[in-house]
Structure 1
């Protein structure tokens, strides 16, 4: 797929109906030969829309006007390129806990959570957030994670978590203003609710920081998993992470995680973590597959805003 096709696909499948600003901007970049030429000089993993848009926002550039965006990128390409090469998309969306909750709540309690690609670890607190699935409420407090749900029995309560740890090549610290600014820059322009959610979730994490380890999802996972306390169910999980991992390492990770004790929860695009016999997704929008121990259970949306159970 060409860079232009990647941006057009992002506009059609991810941004449409979710962020008019990014849909318009991605379509403009798809037809912008000058910006595409510059993107071609960085590695393919650094060409993705979310990363480019986040870097420009972090630099104070405009994303609401494609012409102004074009001018900013060309005038500030050295800084933009440096940002692309140094950064990775680490969208630490706490809302994804809403699609994990039905599976986490059904596992033997208490849980020892280990997130791969944890960023700042905000998805390690499913026991601290409140949830609203239509008229069905779970838990109290802030933030409240809203999720459209269909086809499943909704959980009555939150899981009991006694240990939480994360593994990331570049873990972020929510108490560091620079790290929090990067997480904020990755939130799509219109999503003020997600910005408020980030601040609320960051406050929870700052009050009780998780164990975040800088490391590789294959080389360093067994040692961290071994630190989980006895008597708790180990749950290794990840959401929207494996697309950043080269295919051979994905295979090595899947082989490894299947051998660990406990359970494995994945919410990833079926293009990067494929399954046989999947039903058709609910719409043409981009969907991930929620799976437990390699068995697909449901279609989910990337920010945790919807879950459609098919298992």
Structure 2
């Protein structure tokens, strides 16, 4: 897929109906030879829209007007390129816990949670948030997560979590203002509710910090998994992470995680982890497939805002 096609798909499948600003900006990039040439000088994994837009916002550049965005990127490209090469999209959306909760709650309790690609670890606290699935409420907490769920019998309670750990190539610290500012820059411009959610979830994590380990998802996963208490169910999980991992490495991770004790919960795009016999997604919007131990269960929107259960 060319860079222009990548930005067109982002505009049509991810940003449409969710962020008019990013839909407009992505469409403009598809027609902007100057920006496409600059982006094509980066490794393929570093050309993605979320990374470019996040870096520009983090540096204080404009995203509301495509013409101003073009001028800013061309003028400040050395600084933008440096940050795009150094950083990764580490969107740490606590709302994703709403689609993970039904699986977590159904597993043998208590749980030892290990998130791969944990960022700052905000998804390691599914027991500390409150959830609304339509009129059905689950749990209690300062942060309330809404999820439009279809075909799902909502869980009656939150899981019991006795150990939580995260593995990331560059773990972020919610007590570090620079790290939090990067997480904030990754939230799409119109999403004030997600900014408020980030602050609330960061407060939860800061009050009881998780174990975050800098490491590789293949080389360093077994050692971290071995630190989990043996009297709890180990759950290795990840959401919208594996698209950043080269396919051979992705395959090695899948082989490894299948051999670990406990359970594996994946929430990734259908082109990233492939499954046979998937039903059609509920719309043309981008959806992840929520799966347990390699068995697909549901379609889930990327920020946890909707879940369509078929498993």
Task: Give TM-score scaled by structure 2 length.
Answer: 1.00
- What residue in structure 2 maps to residue 109 of structure 1? 109
Find the residue that maps to 2:114 and give its secondary structure: strand
1:176-217 per-position Cα deviation (integer Å, ceiling 9, x unaligned): 000000000000000000000000000010010000000000
- 1:309 matched to 2:309? The reply is yes
Find the residue that maps to 2:218 and give its secondary structure: coil
- What residue in structure 2 maps to residue 212 of structure 1? 212
CA distance in 1, matches of 2:160, 2:87: 34
CA distance in 1, matches of 2:206, 2:152: 33
**C-alpha displacement of 1:152:** 1.3
CA distance in 1, matches of 2:242, 2:305: 20
CA distance in 2, matches of 1:42, 1:254: 27
Find the residue that maps to 2:264 and give its secondary structure: strand
**C-alpha displacement of 1:164:** 0.1
Find the residue that maps to 2:174 and give its secondary structure: coil
CA distance in 2, matches of 1:267, 1:120: 18
CA distance in 1, matches of 2:129, 2:286: 25
CA distance in 1, matches of 2:172, 2:101: 23
CA distance in 2, matches of 1:116, 1:131: 23
- What residue in structure 2 maps to residue 121 of structure 1? 121
CA distance in 2, matches of 1:85, 1:48: 11
- What residue in structure 2 maps to residue 286 of structure 1? 286
Task: Give TM-score scaled by structure 1 length.
Answer: 1.00
Find the residue that maps to 1:288 and give its secondary structure: strand
CA distance in 2, matches of 1:129, 1:30: 39
- What residue in structure 1 maps to residue 259 of structure 2? 259
Unaligned ranges ≥5, structure 1 = none
Q: How does 1:216-227 map to 2 (within 5 A)?
A: 216-227=216-227
Unaligned ranges ≥5, structure 2 = none
1:107-149 per-position Cα deviation (integer Å, ceiling 9, x unaligned): 0000000000000000000000111111111112221111000
- What residue in structure 2 maps to residue 201 of structure 1? 201
CA distance in 2, matches of 1:97, 1:197: 12
- What residue in structure 1 maps to residue 37 of structure 2? 37
**C-alpha displacement of 1:13:** 0.2
- What residue in structure 1 maps to residue 160 of structure 2? 160
**C-alpha displacement of 1:47:** 0.2
Q: How does 1:68-147 map to 2 (within 5 A)?
A: 68-147=68-147
CA distance in 2, matches of 1:52, 1:123: 24
Find the residue that maps to 1:8 and give its secondary structure: helix
CA distance in 2, matches of 1:36, 1:146: 37
CA distance in 1, matches of 2:76, 2:142: 39
CA distance in 2, matches of 1:264, 1:238: 9
CA distance in 1, matches of 2:3, 2:293: 34
CA RMSD of aligned residues (A): 0.5
**C-alpha displacement of 1:11:** 0.3
- What residue in structure 1 maps to residue 238 of structure 2? 238
Q: How many residues align?
A: 311
Find the residue that maps to 1:158 and give its secondary structure: coil
CA distance in 2, matches of 1:141, 1:210: 18
- What residue in structure 2 maps to residue 51 of structure 1? 51
